[in-house]
Structure 1
């Protein structure tokens, strides 16, 4: 009889401990702070798309290459105009030194040279925009265009997501605000993964949902994490310390 009572007491304590532990668990989702749909700034034909959905790329990699033969030719034309304007400006200064022309002619020649330089800068910017480069390291989520298609300005081309700057979004009861704090450690048990991932509270959103009485917090993940955006997890918080008497 005593053994049965001891066993019952042990099971009750175990259930109580499990209930207390579950009380400080909340669901979380992994998100990337680096996610974007990149658009083309020029009207041109898509020449090549080296990366397909799911492919990994490094920062600065060429994600979409446009056929920019026209823009290259325009840049060469403007460069020739710059050389001509520079020669004209230098000649005007030499003639001015000989008092052969007036100051107005010199100023106009210098202005034409400055204008040509500005046009060359614009032309070179257009040629640089012929290649859409990766703003950070990550993976391709999806393509909005195919190779050999003609695109218009500001047309969406490719969606990418970074795999380094990750965080977890956790929805917790508003009652936890009495002991939650920025910098507090969290253990993330990611679904279908054997080992938990460490994290810490980065920010607590200062707004409580009026219906569910919950609040959203953001948790910082380590840079070398193997998690990917979209994963679900259970966030386990340390039991708050009892208030001092």
Structure 2
């Protein structure tokens, strides 16, 4: 009898422990977890900086402007490069003419093959120099890489800018995302497609977030994992830089 009672006690304790483990691993849809902070980020962003020293000649946009892909937002004064480009272009065209003339003379057996090859090499050399200057000129204009809005303009017309200095911050106009660090034990149930309930601090509006990405590692110090999630519903009042609180979805 004592043996049976002992076995019963062990079974009860075992069931109790199993229930505890199941409770810990249960989906967070119960909403028992404490809220976590999130940051609203743009779907795309491009902080542009100067590749080389220069002076701003023209600023075409202002804070908050909507800009189409390919439009120039800021231009540097590159008159020296423009002059070098004109000179290099003239050299390239002259090299082409010399090559064409030598090629015709070779057809008349009045020019050696070596002479033709040398003029062809000169064409390639001057063409390469022209392409280098074209690449440098491209750095004189800051062009919108996608449809978006101006988040910040760091420069003014006439201002000298050092290499690496910020020029303009540009963000996409697509649906913003939420970025947050959640407890690592949420991994038990947290997967792409899982839902979170969120409230934006600045507006008080509530949204459902759909998890889209999970980091490939857990932060060993904070025991959290970074995730990204998409907003559902009307996000016209949600701007990058806003923040809020999120809890596991209830269903």
Give the TM bin, normalised by the shorter chain. Answer: 0.7 to 0.9
Where does 1:88-237 land on structure 2 (aligned, <5 Å)?
Answer: 88-164=98-174, 166-221=176-231, 225-226=235-236, 227-237=238-248
Q: Would the alpha carbon gap of residues 106 and 57 (structure 1) be closer, same or farther in structure 2, given more than 3 Å must change?
A: same
Q: Which deviates more, 78-87 or 116-125?
A: 116-125
Residue 72 (str. 1) matches residue 69 (str. 2): no
Count the aligned residue pairs. Answer: 221
SS of the equivalent of 1:100 reads: coil
Shift of 1:93: 0.7
SS of the equivalent of 1:75 reads: helix
What per-residue deviation string (whole Å, max 9, x for no partner) do you get for residues 15-42 of structure 1? xxxxx53537433211235333312334
Alignment correspondent of 2:249: 238
Residue 49 (str. 1) matches residue 43 (str. 2): no
For the 8 Å contact 2:202–2:243, the answer to whether it is kept is: no
For the 8 Å contact 1:24–1:239, the answer to whether it is kept is: no
Shift of 1:45: 2.3
Choose the corresponding residue for 1:62, options 72, 95, 101.
Answer: 72
Q: In structure 2, what is the Cα distance between the partners aligned to 1:143 and 1:230?
A: 16
TM-score (norm 1): 0.77
Q: In structure 1, what is the Cα distance between the partners aligned to 2:48 and 2:86?
A: 28
- What root-mean-square deviation, in Å, do the aligned CA atoms of Structure 1 and Structure 2 show? 2.7
For the 8 Å contact 1:42–1:126, the answer to whether it is kept is: no
SS of the equivalent of 1:86 reads: helix
What per-residue deviation string (whole Å, max 9, x for no partner) do you get for residues 156-195 of structure 1? 3223333426321223233322221111133322124354
Q: In structure 1, what is the Cα distance between the partners aligned to 2:87 and 2:232?
A: 51
Shift of 1:114: 1.5
For the 8 Å contact 2:195–2:210, the answer to whether it is kept is: yes
Shift of 1:68: 2.5
Q: Would the alpha carbon gap of residues 42 and 24 (structure 1) be closer, same or farther in structure 2, given more than 3 Å must change?
A: closer
SS of the equivalent of 1:104 reads: helix
Structure 2: give runs of 5+ residues left out of the alignment: 1-29
SS of the equivalent of 1:208 reads: coil
SS of the equivalent of 1:84 reads: helix
Structure 1: give runs of 5+ residues left out of the alignment: 1-19, 241-245
